[in-house]
Amino acid sequence: MTVVSAEQVRALVVSRLENSILAAGRELDDLPDDLDLLTEGIIDSVDIVELISTVEQTFGIVIDFSELDPEQLTVLGSFCRYIADRSQTPTDNKHPDQP
């Protein structure tokens, strides 16, 4: 399991969604924490699943979203902070592909 910061998660999310962010008329370096990626048209439901999978594989954790309000799942800052917090919790959240 890798301990990550919210900034590292944010960098991955922005990198992964760069084209969609730009297509939505947003600047990559000026994204507010309260940006809802879904309502802004940056991601759809399939993209959410792919983003979660990418985050899990990149950082070697399994994400349990039962503790996160579903409405906050697509909010940039909330998502990044939640992933960072989960990576620092010593539980069984290690991704099965990680030694």
d(CA 58, CA 22): 23
Tens digit of each residue's pLDDT (9 = 90 or more) over 46-63: 999 999 999 999 998 888
pLDDT confidence bin for 18, thresholds 50/70/90: very high
Helix (H, G, I), strand (E, B) or coil at 36: strand
Is 44 or 99 the better-scoring residue by pLDDT? 44
Contact 62, 1 (CB under 8 A): no
- What domains are defined for the chain? 6-87 (1.10.1200.10)
Who has greater pLDDT, 67 or 35? 35
Which helix (H) or strand (E) segment holds residue 86: the answer is helix 76-87
Give the tens place of pLDDT for each residue, 81-96.
Answer: 999 998 887 655 454 5
pLDDT at residue number 52:
92
**Coil vs helix vs strand at 61:** strand
Which residues, other chains included, contact 76 with Cβ-Cβ below 8 Å and sequence gap of 6+?
Answer: 10, 13, 31, 32, 33, 34, 35, 36, 37
